[in-house]
A and B are shown apart, each in its own frame.
Chain A
Amino acid sequence: MKPPEIFALGSPTVGWACGCSRRGASHRSGSQPCQDAFALWSGAIRGGPRLVAAVADGHGDARHDLSDVGAALAVQVAVSELCSFHVGHADPPDAQMRRDFKSDCPRIISRRWREAVRSDASERCPTVIAPSSAPQELATELADESPLFRRYGTTLLTALLTPETLCVAQLGDGDIVWLRPDGECERPFPVELAIGTETDSLCSPNAQVCWKTATLDRRAGGLLLLTTDGLPNSFADDTAFDQFVGSLRQRIHDHGFGGVADALPAWLDHYSDQGSGDDMTLVIIEVPPIDEHSNPPGEQ
């Protein structure tokens, strides 16, 4: 059964999230699949509400012919690992969790993604990575794994929310934007010059050191966006994209979170048709302010 394109979930203390992936205009005309993916999870870990989000953009180039699968694996792995990671950090304050998020998550997610790729490849074509009996041949096999990972190449953006903490991480292109209540758009990872075709990737040999991580001050609440680069690339410049983000918050205010979630497929198609032509994925998380009286924040 085809999975639904829109999800909306969350809780009053952590926030509400929805997401949508759409095949880009250029992919529709070329009969290519959507190579983006996203995953959301909301629930309780040791009694505390949590929300996890992940967005991935498969590279799409001919050398990355399984990148749609790579993107799907990446978001599954990220959500799974961030939930597991948080099991060990469920008691506030979250200072230790933030440190561990920075030091451990990139390494663990990168490793798990490679394991998932090996597993997928072995199901598709067991001879591709059939284990070798001879040690010297095994060494050759491992050295030759980069072409396999390259076929699944993808970016990955993640967010982990607790009632006290908001951690984000990014590998490769795409945007994470935090719209504060004062209307200012904060980019935890300022976008470097984006010249067309190159990005860091989970398939990079040094993927674990290409990650960027940050903790955002969520005390006053805000709107968090995770998006593949197809959407920001459809705007004239960052100012125009910031205008989109501010306008999006107004749409949520006017029409409700559910109304905006329902509108996302048509909006993303519009931006792809009129703009970059790329696949597009947008995850929106509306983060409520912390109630200082009932739930004191941890160290920020």
Chain B
Amino acid sequence: MAGAVTPAIPVPEGTVARKSLQFFWLTDCSGSMSGKKIATLNQAIREALPEIRNAVGGHPEVQVSMRAICFADDAKWHVGPKAVPIEQFVWPELAVAGGTATSQAIRLLTGELNAEQMPRRGLPPVCILISDGYCTDPASEYDAAIAELLKQPWGLKAVRLAIGISDGDSSYDEEQLLKFVSHPEIGVLHADTPQKLVQYIRWASVNASVGASLGKSKVGGGEAGGANVELPAPPSIEPTLGTATDVW
């Protein structure tokens, strides 16, 4: 009947949830990261957190949960394995010592991306790997860890970015890190100054989170082509000369 007021019927039961976006940091805390590198990394991640919160604030339908894996002689949870909502995530200070067990970190990540651990429906996870050195695990072990990661549907579809830290004395294995990266057109982000490390951490974490949050349907089966999530080009960072923070 036109104009009749229908008494409100309670909404049916069932726990409602926002779309889940799982974010993983994989950070190198080997001995070579000591000094300005680890200090800059700690500070840069802390400064990126509010920017990620602001960026995904434009997507209230998305719940970002964050974890962190650190690796030196072995890999362990820096924050986790229980995911922490981004609103409550705090970055504890990372200490350094030991080798660069990158493959163990990737295996720890893979264990969390298997179908039993992840929700059956969700947005592509975001995984950001930061390292300044060559993996000290055997090369075959690194390749096996990557293969295992890419065998997992969530691992394959994840946004996987890598930031390589280098200075005049040492560098990272670009070929190795590139195997981790989901976006070959972006490649490994080369941070040879503290300024670049700060900006790349900010750029990668914010843009990967926003890109994965969009969650627009597109055609599968290779029809759409390219990466699972589209990302803008990374920033071109000009060196800031004459400051105390422009070299490691």
Do A and B form a real pair? yes
Of B6-14, B193-201, B235-243, which stretch is located at the interface?
A: B6-14
Chain A residue nearest to B219 (CB atoms) is A201
Residues of A within 8 A of B11 (CB): 267, 270-271
Determine the residue in chain B with the shortest Cβ distance to A278.
B61
Contact between B217 and A199, CB atoms less than 8 A apart? yes
Please give, as numbers and ranges, the residues of chain B lying within 8 Å of A199 by CB-CB distance.
Answer: 217-220
Q: Which stretch from A95-103, A126-134, A241-249 is at the chain B interface?
A: A241-249
Question: A81 interface residue, CB < 8 Å from B?
Answer: no
Query: A62's closest neighbor in chain B, by CB?
Result: B216
| C-alpha spacing A255/B153, complex, angstroms | 43
Instruction: Select the residue from B11, B12, B18 with max chain A CB neighbours within 10 A.
Output: B12
Provide the bound-state CA to CA distance between A246 and B12, in Å: 8
CB-nearest residue of chain A to B60: A277
Residue of B whose beta carbon sits closest to that of A260: B9
In the assembly, what is the distance between CA of A2 and CA of B106, in Å? Answer: 54
Report yes or no: B16 in contact with A234, Cβ–Cβ below 8 A.
yes
Which stretch from A8-16, A160-168, A187-195, A287-295 is at the chain B interface?
Answer: A187-195
* Closest partner residue, chain B, to A268 (CB atom): B11
Contact with A along B120-158 (1 / 0, CB 8 A): 111110000000000000000000000000000110010
The interface on chain A, measured as residues whose beta carbon lies within 8 A of the other chain's beta carbons, has a size of: 63
Residues of A within 8 A of B16 (CB): 234-236, 240, 271, 274-275
Closest 4 CB pairs of A and B: A277-B61, A244-B14, A198-B220, A247-B12
Is B120 touching A197 in the complex (CB atoms < 8 A)?
no
Which A residues are in CB contact (< 8 Å) with B17?
234-236, 240, 275
Taking the complex as formed, is A153 at the interface, i.e. its CB lies under 8 A from any CB of chain B? yes
Which residues of A have CB within 8 Å of B212? 196
Known: A197-B228, A201-B223, A240-B17. A61 touches B216 (CB 8 A): yes
Flag whether B119 is at the interface (Cβ < 8 A). yes
Chain B residues near A262 (CB-CB < 8 A) = 6
**CB-nearest residue of chain B to A195:** B157
Tell whether A300 is near chain B: CB-to-CB under 8 Å. Answer: no
Shortest distance between the CB of A274 and any CB in chain B (Å): 5
Residues on B with C-beta less than 8 A from A191 are 120-121
Q: Does B2 contact A (CB under 8 A)?
A: no
Residues of B near A62 (CB, < 8 A) are 216
| 12 further interface pairs, Cβ-Cβ under 8 Å (given A193-B154, A195-B124) | A57-B217, A63-B218, A195-B122, A196-B19, A206-B221, A229-B217, A235-B17, A240-B17, A241-B14, A243-B15, A275-B19, A277-B18
B157 CB, nearest partner CB in chain A, Å: 4
> Among B10, B61, B153, B216, which residue has its beta carbon within 8 angstroms of that of A195?
B153
A63, B224: Cβ atoms closer than 8 Å: yes
Query: Is there an interface contact between B15 and A25, defined as CB atoms closer than 8 Å?
Result: no
A241 — which chain B residues lie within 8 A by C-beta? 14
The residue that B223 contacts in the complex, of A155, A204, A266, A274, with Cβ under 8 A, is: A204
B19 contacts A277, C-beta separation under 8 Å: yes
Contact flag A276-B217 (CB < 8 Å), given A197-B124, A205-B223, A232-B121 = no
Say whether B215 faces chain A, with CB atoms less than 8 Å apart: yes
